[in-house]
Copies of this chain bind each other. A is one copy, B any other.
Amino acid sequence: MALIVQKFGGTSVGSVERIEQVADKVKAFREAGNDLVIVLSAMSGETNRLIDLAKQISDQPLARELDVIVSTGEQVTIGLLSMALNKRGVPAVSYTGSQVRILTDSSHTKARILQIDDQKIRADLKAGRVVVVAGFQGVDENGNITTLGRGGSDTTGVALAAALKADECQIYTDVDGVYTTDPRVVAKAQRLEKITFEEMLEMASLGSKVLQIRAVEFAGKYNVPLRVLHSFKEGPGTLITIDEEESMEQPIISGIAFNRDEAKLTIRGVPDIPGVAFKILGPISAANIEVDMIVQNVAHDNTTDFTFTVHRNDYQAAFEVLEHTSRAIGAREVVGDTNIAKVSIVGVGMRSHAGVASRMFESLAKENINILMISTSEIKVSVVIEEKYLELAVRSLHTAFDLDAPARQGE
């Protein structure tokens, strides 16, 4: 008999009909002999409705009171699911974050979980009840209601699984697993049976928005096996876990991630003196603009070029800040480009395989795709290319790293 934490998101509980379907699913799991803790989000659209109400009162709604209001969304769904389970003869009980006692810090709207009291839940499980917990919320040491911020329900699921030492934390979504790349771009993309926490983090941060980064980090830290599954389709989904054995069959690359959200900026002819990087990025950071990739090449003629990428929404603001900086430090000019895309190959296998990056560059060269920027980490190589080549690049790399579905089956 396994103890499983199952988390269902907003679309999975978006209507009474959907909640009934979730109840059927939970009942089947229960009858298969599992102990179950169910974590729910608010009905899709409800959190936005509540935030809108608050924004009608104030553009900058008081964070403490916003949490009081927004946390009601999950409180409604847990009550409804618990009713639906009891109606089916499955004993169930619902708890808000405060009732469980999911203790958080007092950072309203973006609180961090400090501790979970597992006493009530363990007693209920022992008594044969399914426990239904409101995701996304907790309570601080003074009894104030807190929320964990967007996507916090995933984090609640993982944190509960860690506290209860559950056998698995299952995240039900609208996709049936994590893919080698976006199936809308590469028809031959395959669902991964398994992926490591590290790989998932790289995939998630690169735009594969299956799971919240924070939840994956949490799961990795406490080694909670995490599984992504489709809410209403059968299938094993994708298991996210630690890299237990580096088997021989393990592919070097697990997946190819990409995004089109970035823009790049270059400041040219920067005097090559110590502290210049800070002089350039300091004002950008002060303007609350987040920087992703940063590349600085070796200097020639005592000047250098400094390039970085930002979110496209921040491009205009960053450009203005940078022109100001350029004049201040005596650089030559500022140039930028919004028509770029970032493509990354991700895989723990590349740690022990040389030549992964060169295989990537070779593959892109064959297609005459020019590489504008390169950045590498231990389990990832990212390149920035012209946006128009994005699909071509992803498909070429998917084939080059043996990720295409039919090809692999034929090996």
> How far, in whole Å, are A179 and B58 apart by their CA atoms in the complex?
39
| Chain A interface SS verdict (over half) | helix
Whether the pair B54, A80 counts as a contact (CB closer than 8 A) is yes
Binding stretch for chain B, among A62-70, A211-219, A250-258: A62-70
Within 8 A of B (CB), among A128-157: 143-145
B83 near A79 (CB under 8 angstroms)? no
Please give the number of chain A residues whose Cβ is less than 8 angstroms from any Cβ of chain B in the complex.
36
A113, chain B: closest CB distance, angstroms? 19
Contact partner of A58 (CB less than 8 A), chosen from B57, B83, B93, is B83
CB-based contact B82/A65 at 8 Å: yes
How far is it, in angstroms, between the C-alpha of A50 and the C-alpha of B16 when the chains are bound? Answer: 12
Given contact pairs A75-B72, A94-B65, A83 touches B99 in the complex (Cβ within 8 A):
no
In the bound complex, CA of A87 to CA of B98 (Å) = 27
Please report A residues at the B interface, Cβ cutoff 8 Å. Answer: 16, 19-20, 50, 53-54, 56-58, 61-62, 64-66, 68-69, 71-72, 75-76, 78-80, 82-84, 86-87, 93-94, 96, 98-99, 143-145
Q: List 30 A-B contacts (CB under 8 A).
A: A50-B76, A53-B76, A54-B79, A57-B80, A57-B83, A57-B87, A58-B83, A58-B84, A61-B83, A62-B82, A62-B83, A62-B86, A65-B86, A65-B94, A66-B79, A68-B75, A68-B78, A68-B82, A68-B94, A68-B96, A69-B75, A69-B76, A69-B79, A69-B80, A71-B75, A72-B76, A96-B145, A98-B98, A99-B144, A99-B145
Instruction: Give me the 4 closest cross-chain CB pairs, A-B, nearest first.
Output: A72-B72, A69-B79, A68-B79, A65-B79
